[in-house]
Amino acid sequence: MRKFGLIGYPLGHSFSKKHFSAKFEKEGIEAEYELYPLENIEEFPALVKNTKGLEGINVTIPYKESVMKFLDGVDEKAAAIGAVNTIKIQKGKLRGYNTDYLGFKTSLVKFIGANPMPTNALILGTGGASKAVQTALSDLGIEFKLISRRPQDGQLTYKDFNKPTPEHLDTYKLIINTTPLGMAPKIESLPDLPYQQLTPDHFLYDLVYNPLSTAFMQKGIETKCWVKNGLEMLHGQAEASWEIWNK
């Protein structure tokens, strides 16, 4: 039996097993997809060694960057992004890829649709998923600013929107949440932004997809913004992972 799975922690929110299990059943594929919650990324080598038949792994929060040290090779695009969310295991060798990039970029273009592509974006979070989003925006010619709880040079904090001469959300027509804020079971949490500044010209994209309508998205709905969750991105990156595992 071919085996695939997902590592991260925690994994109670994930739809990946549901997605792949349904795919395998529908297409008559003899394979199984399991969740492997790892409290520490140092558990990863033992998982690979002890799981017979394991051919591919998806990676989610918080290990998209830290897993890279265990890989034998990394795809050029994933290396440029600096994060891996897909691993192919072949002949005992582990090679990393990033399908978040493609899943997000394709989904974002559909989301904007016939509207003019925003020229400026605000990215909430600086982790592995954020790195894929940053690369996608750069390739689409969209300038962006990052918000981080531990900002580095050129990055913003949430407090920057509450200063005497604050940043203003109107500068950023596209706002992308790459943090786990709002993810089940803590569905009431959301990024600390001045949501009263939102307008119907704003696009809010939340990479969280469980729940399907997050507290972040609800703030956008209340001000008649365009909103989207990360479910389409999940499906897109999952299908791209499947192609990698089978080529």
pLDDT at 163 over 90: no
Task: Tell me how far apart the alpha carbons of residues 76 and 103 are, in angstroms, rounded to a whole number.
Answer: 17
pLDDT band at 155 (very low <50, low <70, confident <90, very high): very high
Residue 16's pLDDT is: 95
Residue 200's pLDDT is: 97
Report the DSSP beta bridge partners of residue 226.
Answer: 203
Rg (CA), the chain: 18
pLDDT at 149 over 90: no
Residue 12's pLDDT is: 87
Residue 162's pLDDT is: 81
Q: Determine which helix (DSSP H) or strand (DSSP E) holds 5, and give its type and residue range.
A: strand 2-8
Average pLDDT over residues 110-117: 96
Average pLDDT over residues 11-34: 95
Token couple for 176? 């992308």
pLDDT band at 165 (very low <50, low <70, confident <90, very high): confident
pLDDT band at 47 (very low <50, low <70, confident <90, very high): very high
Residue 166's pLDDT is: 87
pLDDT at 96 over 90: yes
Task: Tell me how far apart the alpha carbons of residues 174 and 110 are, in angstroms, rounded to a whole number.
Answer: 14
Give residues with Cβ within 8 angstroms of 238, minimum separation 6.
16, 19, 20, 58, 99, 103
| Range of weakest confidence among 147-151, 162-166, 215-219 | 162-166
- Least Cα distance to 114 among 192, 203, 43 occurs for 203
Write the pLDDT tens digit of every residue in 173-207: 999 999 999 999 999 999 999 999 999 999 999 99
Residue 153's pLDDT is: 85
Sign of CA dihedral 186, 191, 197, 200: negative
Residue 95's pLDDT is: 98
Task: Tell me how far apart the alpha carbons of residues 232 and 104 are, in angstroms, rounded to a whole number.
Answer: 8
pLDDT band at 87 (very low <50, low <70, confident <90, very high): very high
Catalytic machinery residues: 64
Domains and CATH numbers, the chain: 2-98 (3.40.50.10860), 101-232 (3.40.50.720)
| Range of weakest confidence among 43-57, 65-79, 158-172 | 158-172
